[in-house]
Amino acid sequence: MGRDAYGLPARQARRALPQVSLAVGLAASVAATLALAVPGPAAASALPAAPAPAPTAGGGLGDVTGGVPVDDTAPKPSATASPSATPKPAATPKPGASPQASASAKPGATPSAGATPSPGATATPGATASPGATPTPAATPAVPVLSPEQAAELAREVNEGTVSLETATARLAELLKEARRALEAHAAAKKTASDARADDADARKKLAAAQKAADGAQTELNRFAADAYRAGPLGTRGSGLGALLSADNPSDFLRGAADIDVLADAQAASLDALQDAIEGEKLAAKKADATAKTAAETAATEKAAKAKADELVARQRTVVSALQAKLLSTGTTDQLAQALSVAEQRRRTAALQKAQAIASGQAVLPDAGAVGCTGEDVSGYPNGQLPLTALCSIWGAPGHLLRADAAAAFSAMSKAYAAVFGSPICMTDSYRNRAMQEDLYVRKPTLAAIPGTSNHGWGVAVDLCDGVENFGTPQHEWLVLNAATYGWYHPAWAEASGSRPEPWHWEYGG
Per-residue pLDDT, 231: 61
Is residue 3 in a domain?
no
* Same domain flag for 389 and 502: yes
Residue pair 189/300 in contact (Cβ under 8 Å)? The answer is no
Is residue 165 in a domain?
yes
Residue pair 42/114 in contact (Cβ under 8 Å)? The answer is no
Q: How far apart are the first and last CA of the chain?
A: 127
Amino acid at the residue 481? L
* Same domain flag for 80 and 160: no
Is residue 410 in a domain?
yes
Per-residue pLDDT, 215: 76
Cβ-in-10-Å burial (0-12, 13-18, 19+) of 398 comes to: exposed
Residue pair 312/182 in contact (Cβ under 8 Å)? The answer is no
* Same domain flag for 509 and 411: yes
Domain boundary among 124, 159, 187: 124
Beta bridge partners of 508: 488
Euclidean distance between CA atoms 159 and 98, whole angstroms: 59
* Same domain flag for 350 and 370: no
Domain of residue 93, residue span: 10-124
Per-residue pLDDT, 100: 42
Cβ-in-10-Å burial (0-12, 13-18, 19+) of 387 comes to: exposed
Query: How many distinct structural domains can be found in the chain?
Result: 3
pLDDT tens for the chain, residues 1 to 510: 445 444 445 455 455 444 545 444 544 554 444 444 444 444 334 334 444 444 433 333 333 333 334 444 444 444 444 444 444 444 444 444 444 433 343 444 444 444 444 444 444 444 444 455 555 655 554 557 889 999 999 999 999 999 999 999 888 888 877 877 878 887 887 777 777 777 777 777 877 777 777 777 777 767 766 776 666 544 444 445 555 555 566 665 566 566 666 666 766 776 777 777 777 777 877 877 787 787 778 778 777 877 887 788 788 888 888 999 999 999 999 999 999 999 999 999 999 988 877 765 554 444 444 456 888 888 778 999 999 999 999 999 999 999 999 999 999 999 999 999 999 999 999 999 999 999 999 998 888 899 999 999 999 999 999 999 999 999 998 998 889 888 899 998 999 999 999 999 999 987
Per-residue pLDDT, 192: 77
Per-residue pLDDT, 198: 76
* Same domain flag for 252 and 371: no
Residue pair 481/176 in contact (Cβ under 8 Å)? The answer is yes
Is residue 422 in a domain?
yes
In this prediction the pTM is 0.52
Cβ-in-10-Å burial (0-12, 13-18, 19+) of 228 comes to: middle
* Same domain flag for 485 and 402: yes
* Same domain flag for 291 and 153: yes
Euclidean distance between CA atoms 121 and 118, whole angstroms: 6
